[in-house]
Amino acid sequence: MKKLLARLPVIIIGIPAVYWLLVMANNYVKLSFFAIVAILGQYELCSMLEKGKRKPILEWVSSIIILASSFYGERALFAALAGCVTLAMLTTVFRGLRGDGISYFCHVVFSLFYLPFCLSCFYLLSLTNIGGMGLFLILSSVWALDIGAYIFGMSLRGPKLAPKISPNKTISGAIGGFICSVAFLYCAAHYGWANLPLPRTIYVALVIAIVGQVADLFESVIKRESDTKDSSSLLGAHGGVLDRIDSVLFLGPLCYFIYTL
């Protein structure tokens, strides 16, 4: 209960702020918001992967380039991503033989896909017919996933889902989160809360309910292998930026693909 109360201030402020940024704000403000999230996330990710040995300057510059390019559409986004990966390759060569060239390159390229590219897909998704409101409801279904997993997991308990990766997660919680997420997004499409075409939204709901939970475990793997409890302490009891968006990031390209197929 204490942990839940400690998280309430961020929830009370954060959800209305995200709603305003996605639904009410103009595209420049929206992109700026995603850029800030990407830059903070890059710092946390680099700190975990490389134990704070360097600052992610290249990642920061590349994040701004990739997100800015998304303003001009998906072709510009893919071109920017390819260019930034090439820049990472060149940087690896010019760094010389330090014994960490391959890991450096892999960390940079992974971070470019994980943060600015995935966030850019969400931005592009908000420009489609589903709009900012549809995007907000998609993100809300991830919150429904987390809430359902917590309630069902705490109430029913039972076997662990992945005890070595995340000891607190249970199979009952995973099933409960799946049900809540799919039910929420189905209702959003069925009752016309936003312009979400029902057939495709059902596919998206299933993807979110499955991939969202795997993505959460994926970040847990990064934290476990980095010997880190939270990605940072920026958001207090909520941990860091990556701790709040880990279930969301990989869903960006998938949701964009499904809705624009």
Res 7: pLDDT: 58
Q: Comparing C-alpha atoms, which of 94, 83, 37, 26 is closest to residue 60?
A: 37
pLDDT > 60? residue 6:
no
CB 107 within 8 A of CB 46: yes
Q: Comparing C-alpha atoms, which of 219, 22, 213 is closest to residue 114?
A: 219
- For the stretch 208-247, pLDDT in tens is 999 999 999 999 999 888 888 888 777 776 778 998 898 8
- What is the C-alpha to C-alpha distance for residues 240 and 56, in angstroms, rounded to an integer? 17
Residue bearing the bigger pLDDT, 9 or 95: 95
- What is the C-alpha to C-alpha distance for residues 223 and 210, in angstroms, rounded to an integer? 21
- Helix segments in 194-250, DSSP class H: 198-225, 241-245
- What is the C-alpha to C-alpha distance for residues 203 and 79, in angstroms, rounded to an integer? 28
Res 24: pLDDT: 93
CB 65 within 8 A of CB 158: no
Res 53: pLDDT: 82
Cα–Cα distance list, 246 to 4, 87, 143, 222, 228 (Å): 19, 26, 12, 11, 15
CB 154 within 8 A of CB 137: no
Three-state DSSP class for residue 55: coil
Q: Specify the pTM.
A: 0.92
- For the stretch 149-192, pLDDT in tens is 989 998 888 899 888 898 889 999 999 999 999 999 999 999 99
Which residues, in sequence order, are CB contacts of 55 under 8 Å at separation 6+?
A: 43, 46
Res 8: pLDDT: 64
Helix axes 251-260, 118-126, angle to 10 degrees: 40
- For the stretch 27-69, pLDDT in tens is 999 999 999 999 999 999 999 998 878 899 999 999 999 999 9
Question: Which residues are paired to 166 by β-bridges?
Answer: 162
